Every structure is written in C-alpha cells, then in structure tokens.
Amino acid sequence: MNQYKILNLFPTPVFIDEGIHTTKKQRDFVYNTKWYRPEADNGWLTNNHYLLDEDVMKTLKEKIMKSFNVMMSNSMQFQDSVGWRMTNSWAVKHDTGGWAQEHIHTNSVFSGVYYMDTNEHQGKIKFHKPTHDQTILPLTFRPGSYKEPTDYNLDFAHIQPENGMMVIFPSTLLHSVSANKSEWDRYSIAFNFFPTGTWGSDEHELIL
C-alpha cells in the first residue's frame, strides 16, 4: 500500500464554549423585550440590535468577550495588539415549527450564537460546506457513496445546542437552524465581531 499523508490546509474553525450562563434577571429581560417577525425568516427578532449593551446584560457580554478573546489568542494566534469589538447583538425566538433559512452574517469577521433557553427537541444549528466552486468535491454524491462520514466528505455538520453553550464561527460560513419540534419557545442571542486598531500595510493603512 502506498504511504501518504494529509495536510489539512485552511480548515474552518468553529469554536464551542459550554460554560457561559445567564441570570434569571437576564433571561426575564429577554423574554419580556419587544419582538418583530422578519419577512425572510420563520422566527422572531428583538427590536433592540444592541441587546448585550443594556445594563442588565453587560455581565453576559463580558463573559462572551472574554471567551472570544481567548479563542482568538490561543487558536487563531492573534497578537494582543489585535483588538475586537462586538458590533451588534440581538435575541432570536423560534416558537413551535420555527426555523432559520441558510444565511451568512455581513459586515463582520466572526459571528456567534449563545443558547439561553433550549432543549434537544428544539432544533440544531446546521453549518453548510462552502459553495461547490470552492471545494474538492463539486458533485453531490448519492447516499451510500461513502464508507463512513469524515471531515472531507460531509456536505453539512450539525451541532446540538445546550443551555449555556456559545458557538463562534466565521461570518461567511453558511448556516441555518432546523425546526423547533417542541411546544416551548427556543431563545438564543446572536452577535457579530469586527477587529479594531490599525490594519493593512504601511502604504494602505486602515484604522478601525
């Protein structure tokens, strides 16, 4: 048998922190906030798109930012001089049958979702592989074509949310949310991150 090795070039990082928790006061604040239903989705969003900047929510934002900065430093290996800020944040509510269609987050570099009130019957977040012109497998193979699923042949990957779980991913990574099959509302909080400081070369400097 030929000997070979695999180089995992340019992998897509998806970070998970399962240890961030809210207070009852914070949960009640989200439950009782004002909501609207966007035309392009089957769920509800808060009118407030800076939710985590509210005084009652600031300790949660601090926990999220602390965890995110550790991920950027330890895994992405950004220098301490590279700063990040949360540009916006909003809560999402899916009642029975509620779901979210495939989408990305614009005007940001990393995005995240925090699961405040969910259970195993309320749907999963689904990440989709990049568009076909960016992959080594441009075809959709028939079921049963693979001996077993691996990171190299998956078309998508699911994550089962749990209360207190935060998921961080590149903003350009296509994702969706499956339907809530329970009788209870599912609550999560979404947010985006953008770098701060001076970027680019000396000739093309950009201050953010």
Q: What is the pLDDT of residues 18-37, one digit of tens each?
A: 999 999 999 999 999 999 99
Taking the model in full, what pTM does it have? 0.89
150 pLDDT band, cuts 50/70/90, is confident
* Structural domains of the chain, ranges and CATH numbers in brackets: 15-132+153-201 (2.60.120.620)
More confident residue, 119 or 26: 26
Sheet holding 166-170, edge to edge: 15-17, 166-170, 110-117, 186-196, 83-94, 44-46, 35-36
* Nearest residue to 94 (alpha-carbon basis) of 49, 41, 157: 41
* Nearest residue to 96 (alpha-carbon basis) of 161, 36, 160, 181: 181
User: What average pLDDT does range 180-194 have in this prediction?
Assistant: 96
Query: What is the reported pLDDT for 28?
Result: 98
129 pLDDT band, cuts 50/70/90, is confident
Q: Rg of the Cα trace of the chain?
A: 19
**Cα dihedral sign for 174, 180, 116, 42?**
positive
Query: What is the reported pLDDT for 137?
Result: 57
Cross-strand partners of 101: none
* Nearest residue to 113 (alpha-carbon basis) of 98, 100, 96: 100
Q: Is the pLDDT confidence value at 39 over 60?
A: yes
Whether the Cβ atoms of residue 195 and residue 164 lie closer than 8 Å to each other: no
The type of residue at 30 is: V
Of 45-49, 50-54, 199-203, the poorest mean pLDDT is in 199-203
